[in-house]
Amino acid sequence: MPAPARILVYGVYGAGKSTAAARLAERLGLPWCPVDDLLWQPGWVEVPVAEQRRRIEAVCRGDRWILDGAYHGWRDVVLARADLVVGLDYPRALSFWRLLRRTAGRLVSGEEICNGNRESLRSVLSRDSILVWHVSAFGRARRRMRAWESDPTGPPVLLFRSPAALDRWLAELPSSPAPRR
């Protein structure tokens, strides 16, 4: 397989999609486009799905990119153009623990997530909490990745069952120069 130039990193909330995408971008010299930056406006106002789709289509028209997620309103666009899907198919307990640790750290630090947005205790304790999303979305995300892996009509899918397996794969990839935009 030639070196992929259009990569989707996919997994449940907390699996480490953004971290993996950043590492891939650095290793392969590909531009990484954080999906959250395209989906959320300041104040956690969600960009309308039609506009999300337009933004994702613009990214996917390019010859070189890494995206760290794919959602229902435009997932088809990404899959139609991706050369590779990197699936983070980690155990539920591991991804939930990572999400909990990351969320707690962001609450304490006030770290900006995207477009000026930050975690808040109110958002973490709400019905729309990312922790609740993890619990409700875990099974769907896992089934989706496994279905993609067995679909010969879609892009190749590499499923990683542990962070160590992902680390080994990343270490074996050839290094490329810094990303071109």
Does position 178 have pLDDT exceeding 90, yes or no? no
> Under CATH, domain 6-171 is a member of which superfamily?
P-loop containing nucleotide triphosphate hydrolases (3.40.50.300)
Domains of the chain: which residue ranges? 6-171
Query: pLDDT by residue (tens digit) across 91-143?
Result: 999 999 999 999 999 999 999 999 999 999 888 888 888 899 889 999 999 99
CA distance 59 to 70: 12
Three-state DSSP state, 126: coil
Does position 174 have pLDDT exceeding 90, yes or no? no
Percent of the chain with pLDDT over 90: 82
Does position 60 have pLDDT exceeding 60, yes or no? yes
User: Contact at 8 Å (CB) between 84 and 7?
Assistant: yes
pLDDT at 125: 85
